[in-house]
Structures are given as C-alpha cells and as structure tokens.
Amino acid sequence: MQSAQTIKIELAKVFRPKQASVLAKVIVDTHNDLVKADDFNELKGIVKELAESHKELTVEVKELAKAQKRTEEEIKKLTKAQLETDKKVDRIQKNLGGLSHTVGYHLEDRAYKTLPLLLKRDLGIEVEGRLIRRFFVYGRGKEDEVNIYGRGIKDGKEVIIIGEGKSQLSKDDIDDFLDIADRVTDYTKSSDKENILIAVSYAIRPEVEEYAKKKDIKVYWSYELDL
C-alpha cells in the first residue's frame, strides 16, 4: 500500500488539491479498515480452531481418564490374583518341603539300622550306642540339624560319626555339610577326635560322588542300606 502523500500526488493530477487530499485520506483509511477486518476474521478463525481443538482434547482426556480407571481396576485384579498365586505357591512349597523331609527322614531311619554294620565292615568302626538325629543349639536362635550322629571306636580310639542324608546329593549339600561338621566339632570340643563323615542318598551324580570322596566323605547309596 502506497503512502497517503504518494496517493495524494497521483490524485492531484486529476483532482483539485483539496479533493485529492480528501480522497487520499479516504483510500488509506478504507485500506486500513479492510486490513484490520481481514486480521480480525483470521483471528476469529484461529480462535475457532483452537476452541475445536480444545474440545477434541477434552474428549480425549476424558477417554484417557476412563482408560486409566479401567487400567487401575485391571491392575487391582491382577494384584489380587498374584497374591492368591503367591499363597498357592507358598502352600505348594511347604507341601514339597514336608514331602522332602518325609523322604529324607525315611532314608535316615533306614541308615540308623544298617550303618553300624556297614561302618564295621568298611571302616572297622564299632558304633557305640545308637546313631541318632540330633540338633545342636548354639544360642541366639542359631542351630544345626545333624541327620546322623553318634560315637564309635576305631583302632582303639574314639571317633565322632557325623552323617548327612539327602534324596539327591549335590556339591552345595556337601559344602553345607562340611560347614555343619566344623561347627559341631567346635561346639562339642571334640577336635582331638577323628570325624567320620558319611553321606547317604538315593541319587548321586558321578562328579558329586567323586567330590565327596575328595572331601573324605564316605558315600552310601540307599540300596546299600538294604542288607
């Protein structure tokens, strides 16, 4: 848009100066009004679009809120189901633990009857009294359960018999058993006596049996208890 002075000069070529001045002012004012009107209409259009977008966004937010509520309800259901599952797993583990103890106790009960004969035959040990299952309580809630425990005589000297019974013997079981044997020896102050370490099991992998032998543990398979 040209300036009012320029328009006035052009109009002065046709109209008188005063008329040219008035016409120039009218043209400039009219142009400015039109520009303002266009800007206003554009602004109205933008505002309308923003309002529609806001409305759509509001709807989406409401839908998201509903979806979030449904998700929270599903999470609550899943959490409840997980708790029920955990309880069932705990019961199963307790039952399996009880079953494992039952199998282990049965193996040990057989060992109490037969091991005295096996120890005399294989190691020349005369068992004194009975082999028993014994708990050693050290205080402060610490204790060890020794599956097979007793005393015997070998070559005229007293020995301590410490045994482990496992349905399936592993290297970790052997390491744990050795730790228990050390604690029992310290507790009973029998370090001056020889410990005769024994393990009885239903199943022993070859490498585990070899590992036990290296640790000076006499291994007996369950079927050897049936004399």
Please say if the pLDDT value at position 35 is more than 70.
no
Per-residue pLDDT at 91: 59
pLDDT of residue 183 exceeding 50, the answer is yes
- % of the chain with per-residue pLDDT over 90: 45
Average pLDDT for 39-56 = 67
Record the tokens describing residue 119, joined without a space. Answer: 């120890």
150 within domain boundaries = yes
Residue with tokens 């024994």: 198
Q: Is residue 138 part of a domain?
A: yes
Total domains in the fold of the chain: 1
Residue 115 lies in a domain: yes
Determine the average pLDDT of the residues in 64-88: 80
List the CATH number of the domain containing 126. 3.40.1350
What per-residue confidence (pLDDT) applies to 66?
85
Average pLDDT (39-58) is 68
Beta-strand pair 142-154/125-139: antiparallel
**Residue 220 in domain:** yes
Which domain covers residue 205, as residue numbers?
Answer: 104-225
**pLDDT exceeds cutoff 50 at 97:** no
**Tokens standing for residue 112:** 């109490």
Does the residue 132 lie in any domain?
A: yes
- Identify the band that residue 11 occupies on the pLDDT scale cut at 50, 70 and 90: low
Q: For position 141, what pLDDT does the model report?
A: 80
Binned at pLDDT 50, 70 and 90, residue 98 comes out as very low
| Assigned domain for 69 exists | no
What pLDDT, on a 0 to 100 scale, did the predictor assign at position 24?
Answer: 64
Query: Is 137 buried (19+), middle (13-18) or exposed (0-12) by CB count in 10 A?
Result: exposed
List helix spans (H) across the chain: 4-12, 17-123, 171-188, 206-214
Question: Is position 98 within any domain?
Answer: no
- Predicted confidence band of residue 134 (pLDDT cuts 50, 70, 90): very high
- What is the chain's mean pLDDT, rounded? 81
Decide if 51 is inside a domain: no
DSSP 193: S
* pLDDT confidence bin for 6, thresholds 50/70/90: confident
Give pLDDT, residue 140.
80
User: pLDDT-based confidence at 178, cuts 50/70/90?
Assistant: very high
